[in-house]
């Protein structure tokens, strides 16, 4: 008795997809979330730049937090746009671009971590260069000023290597020819604070650069922020490693 031939499979429907709906919409919603965040970052960065005086903003362009916010926001916007639209429309070209961009970002993060660990001395020098540049433009940019003040308060430090690094700033420069009223001073964020003090002395950093380490240490933090930052990093390696893994896993 002859066997009947198997019937050919019917054509796939127009709405058929080889992509799992779960994977598709999870990828879409994650990218949509970061897409919105990136637009907020760009908006905040642009708004912060527009509020600044043109000449002062151009002078400290390299250390402006608003510029960093805009750059990160634009990069995130472009990557998440490809992932968001590509996953929703199942566009192979956009998904491939999204995959390549995310891979490049992941490899750059990995390379930065490895190079920072291997060439720790050079990384320390680069950090010192950035901090010194920020000190020079301390009064030129309110956002930068607030960022430095926050760092000095949180790490209980002052300047890059020591409190005398503030002489690099034209207002705090400790030379006889400096006509500034803040000559030889340091910012208020360098000062030691007494929790029980009723009235805060905002001029506690006045003339501190003209004093020796021992004498100045009774009023301000004399240790630089670079050593404090390095010590904090060494003390929180597991925390930083956990954050790095937490950022890497979603990318993978």
Identify which of 13-27, 34-48, 52-66 has the greatest average pLDDT. Answer: 34-48
For residue 236, report the phi and psi dihedrals to the nearest 5 degrees. -125, 35
Non-local (6+) Cβ contacts of 247 within 8 A are: 109
How many secondary structure helices (H) and strands (E) does the chain include? 9, 0
What is the mean pLDDT of the segment spanning 37-54?
78
105: in domain = no
Over 50: is that where the pLDDT of 59 sits?
Answer: no
193-250, pLDDT tens digit by residue?
Answer: 776 666 667 788 888 998 988 999 889 999 888 888 878 877 776 776 677 677 667 6
175: in domain = yes
User: Where residue 166 falls among pLDDT bands split at 50, 70, 90?
Assistant: very high
User: Any idea which of 3-17, 86-100, 102-116 has the lowest mean pLDDT?
Assistant: 3-17
208: CATH = 1.10.1450.10
pLDDT of residue 1: 46
30: in domain = no
pLDDT of residue 64: 67
- Both tokens of 71, joined, read 């750059």
Identify which of 29-43, 137-151, 161-175 has the greatest average pLDDT. Answer: 161-175
Q: What percent of the chain has pLDDT over 70?
A: 77
189: in domain = yes
How many whole angstroms separate alpha carbon 219 and alpha carbon 188?
A: 11
Over 70: is that where the pLDDT of 168 sits?
Answer: yes
3-state secondary structure of 220: strand
Q: Which residue has the tokens 């009774």?
A: 218
What domain count does the chain have? Answer: 1
107: in domain = no
DSSP characters for 56-125? HHHHTGGG-HHHHHHHHHHHHHHHHHHHHHHHHHT-HHHHHHHHHHHHHHHHHHHHHHHHHHHTHHHHHH
Report which of 200, 177, 182, 199 is spatially closest to residue 145, judged by C-alpha positions: 182
Domain extent for 158? 133-232
User: Where residue 19 falls among pLDDT bands split at 50, 70, 90?
Assistant: low
87: in domain = no
User: Which pTM value belongs to this model?
Assistant: 0.60
227: in domain = yes
152: in domain = yes
């Amino acid at each position: 008795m002859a066997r009947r031939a198997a019937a050919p499979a019917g054509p796939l429907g127009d709405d058929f997809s080889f992509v799992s709906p779960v994977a598709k919409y999870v990828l879409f919603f994650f990218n949509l979330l970061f897409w919105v965040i990136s637009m907020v970052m760009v908006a905040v960065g642009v708004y912060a730049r527009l509020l600044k005086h043109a000449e002062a903003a151009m002078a400290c362009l390299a250390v402006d937090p608003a510029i960093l916010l805009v750059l990160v926001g634009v990069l995130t916007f472009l990557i998440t746009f490809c992932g968001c639209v590509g996953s929703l429309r199942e566009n192979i070209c956009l998904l491939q671009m999204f995959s390549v961009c995310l891979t490049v970002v992941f490899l750059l993060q990995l390379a930065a971590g490895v190079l920072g660990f291997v060439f720790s001395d050079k990384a320390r020098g680069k950090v010192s260069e950035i901090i010194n540049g920020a000190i020079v433009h301390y009064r030129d940019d309110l956002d930068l000023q607030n960022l430095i003040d926050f760092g000095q308060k949180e790490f209980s430090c002052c300047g890059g290597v020591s409190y005398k690094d503030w002489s690099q700033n034209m207002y705090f420069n400790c030379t006889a020819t400096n006509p500034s009223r803040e000559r030889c001073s340091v910012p208020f964020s360098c000062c030691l604070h007494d929790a029980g003090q009723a009235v805060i002395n905002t001029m506690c950093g006045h003339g501190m650069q003209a004093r020796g380490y021992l004498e100045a240490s009774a009023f301000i933090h004399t240790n630089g922020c670079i050593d404090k930052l390095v010590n904090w990093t060494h003390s929180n390696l597991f925390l930083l490693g956990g954050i790095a893994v937490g950022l890497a896993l979603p990318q993978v």
